[in-house]
Structure 1
């Protein structure tokens, strides 16, 4: 008997109607989120709060799509899947004032340690539910992310999440099935992104640690490369890619929704392997280049070149301040000229207009 396993990719382009005006997306040290309150992402797409599965006498902390009619079962992330809590009106989510950790507590008792971050007295800590569905614990003093839910996926992959491994820290990003519907405890199946040799990666599903299914080698290139373009049932396309370097090897997806130049800047700043960016001509996604920090870009004035905005140090000796430097670099593919000069002129006008918009937006961002 053959078995079909489907991993669902969730689209986050949602329409929200109405929400309480008091909803917030962030808690800080001293705040408490109880069972009757919730965090709402800035764009109102995601909600974080306590919940109970139907017919289950246990409480969990999780994230769900705000307008999902089946949100009582369709949680995109659960903080304590293997540590259910007995329902109580005294349960709260908070940042511990002494340890700086995200915890679920009841009175003076810590029920669940959600984060494992180290704490330094005086840290200005906040926990924010972002518009991507990522729940981040940050030190606002130095803008450092101390912990994030995207590093601990459960059974569902959201755009921006990773499946793979951080070579430097040993952190693995895997998806694990639920024990059953209505019980988020860890199930028998795990999806991972594994190297087969120095030039290939593959998906692997394991059942209780034993190989159950493999995709086979998906790509034979070491450098970051988009190997497939998927379209889900609702028609929204997803950009599927992977990163392979000395620090990280992972698979990820990004929703091709309308993005601005500033969105691409933030995506690159949050990715340590990102070297340069631009936006696609149709404005639906970011184009990024990855590699070692020693990578150098050469100026190329040819018609076949593509503009890149490269993150460079403004003070190389200190390496503390960075700027976006626009350069033109060769992109290494065959370009066939149109038989019509008009088409070439029109294309240049479109690209010039797009470039002006990007530069104006970048200037506005830098000038505040």
Structure 2
């Protein structure tokens, strides 16, 4: 074999060996178990058998100097559990190992080892143990021989709750299961919010710096009173002699194809997250309102009801017209900054930030809105008198428009109904005219059977003559109805005034006055003075018949009679009794 062939064979062997070692290394990295003889360094990780969860070291951001050991959903960059939230690894490399008792600890090149949260099980002697990342995301330490669980990450929750995890208290060991938010977006240090289980109220409780901030409401029939995020889950409240706790699991024990959608998380701003949904409680709970589960607490005198923070873009200008840089406090996180500004009556706004550091602006500077991309965002305190003036203005405008519209609508409806009634009345009058007007007046006037030549007046002519039966033209009322002005005009000798001017040229005045006199005789007060039908026909057709004098019609309008027409004693004799104390009037026919 030549030198070239030997060289090629050597390269091939090295390549195959490298591939073999890579495969071995890859297989080792995909394991879910860590034995006492092994360590897990910053380049290695454990993966659950179902590939859903991964245990590894990480840094919250590219600029962070701190390192943490955490469990992730394999498809997510946000951890669901962190082993060392209180003691980050700073500027050093670290590894996960077993101590002499068989328990896990984090060893770092600079600094003391970091022990994980205490175990509920007391270990009296060294035990042969192994660590396993289970398919439900729980990291457990088990005794090899007995399989007994000596420690588990589910007993040390951070900011997330998974199915089969617990919230509550173990009275036997004193262990309390509580979620704690991060301090900022990139700082897993314990933040201001905690999520706890209240066994007395059978509800979930969020506290902010120890003060009740929000409650879920009582759990009834697997539904919380103030939450609507759990309709697809089966929740249950578990209470035994040793513990009072709450946990949940998927309905019917099924597996979710997207495991990240079933995680609960309490955010650093107080947001209660469920999978990809959530409620930003920071924006609805101010301490003076109780809607949607918000709790109340003592308020500063300067913060009245309905005062809120409003996110706005712009800048602050001082009295000299220069940009105000505000006051900066490096020790406050985002929510603590918000609370600090709210409690300070001189604070007008604080800068929006997800990192450490708090910039506030006093009420002595003026905010100038600016929606450009170069402007910064601030949470500006909006008081009712500031934010509702324009709103109230538009409300009053809307109310005015509404009232005007209603008024116009009412007027239109009134006129419509009035017109409709007039239309109905007109229709009734027309119908009455048709009923009261003979179909053939000529036939009645030229009745050859009787040869009486009766003059017929239709209803319309009577309406015209009496001015629509006006009270001004009414004299009295007889047995057949009202009597109008004819009597009064007859007494004055002005009977021709009753004639329609249109008839003045074609009508014979003597004939008109004769017919008028016959009509007045027909309504005489005394029935004996009234002509019968035969006499009326004779009087109107035979001009030679002498007509009796007209006395007075029944039920005259005495107010329009003059003293010369009747004597007072005549009226007294006719209408009054002998003693003058009573009146007797006889109804005609």
Tell me if structure 1 keeps the 8 A contact 2:39–2:95: yes
CA distance in 2, matches of 1:100, 1:107: 21
Q: 1:130 to 1:110 in 2, by over 3 A?
A: farther
- Name the CA distance, whole Å, in 1 between partners of 2:60 and 2:110: 26
- Corresponding residue for residue 105 of structure 1: 107
1:165 matched to which residue of 2? 169
Question: RCO greater where, 1 or 2, for CA within 8 Å and sep 6 or more?
Answer: 1
In structure 2, stretches of 5+ residues that fail to align are 1-24, 256-589
> How far does residue 80 in structure 1 lie from its aligned partner after superposition?
0.5
Closer/same/farther in 2, CA of residues 195 and 115 from structure 1, 3 Å limit: closer
SS of residue paired to 1:21: helix
Structure-2 residue corresponding to 1:124: 128
**Offset, 1:255:** 2.3
Tell me the alpha carbon deviations over residues 230-260 of structure 1, each in whole angstroms, 9 at most, x when there is no partner: 9869xx9321111012122111111247659
Within 5 Å, give how 1:156-305 maps onto structure 2.
156-196=160-200, 200-219=201-220, 226-227=222-223, 237-256=232-251
Are the aligned partners of 1:167 and 1:248 in contact in 2 as well (CA < 8 Å)?
yes
> 2:97 corresponds to which residue?
94
> Equivalent residue of 2:219, what SS?
coil
Map 1:39-54 to 2 at 5 A.
39-54=46-61
How many angstroms apart in 2 are the aligned matches of 1:241 and 1:103?
A: 34
Aligned-residue RMSD, C-alpha: 2.7
Provide the aligned length of Structure 1 versus Structure 2.
226
| Alignment CA distance shift 1:77-1:94 (3 Å) | same
- CA shift, 1:87, in A, is 3.6
**8 Å Cα contact 1:189/1:206 also seen in 2:** yes
How far is the alpha carbon of 1:213 from its aligned partner? 1.7
Distance 1:115 1:27, change over 3 A: farther
Report what 2:83 is aligned to. 79
More helix by share: 2
Answering whether residue 67 of structure 2 is matched by residue 59 of structure 1, we say yes
Mapped partners of 1:226, 1:148: distance in 2:
27
Offset from partner CA, 1:115-144 (integer Å, 9 cap, x none):
434434452201111110001011122221
Question: Counterpart of 1:50 in 2: which secondary structure?
Answer: strand
What's the TM-score once normalised by structure 2's chain length? 0.36
Maintained 8 Å contact 1:231/1:237: no
Whose strand fraction is larger, Structure 1's or Structure 2's? 1
- SS of 1:176's equivalent in the other structure is strand
Distance 1:166 1:121 in 2: 25
In the other structure, the counterpart of 1:142 is 146
Larger Rg, first or second structure (1 or 2): 2
What secondary structure is seen at the aligned counterpart in 2 of 1:83?
A: coil
Distance 1:166 1:155 in 2: 19
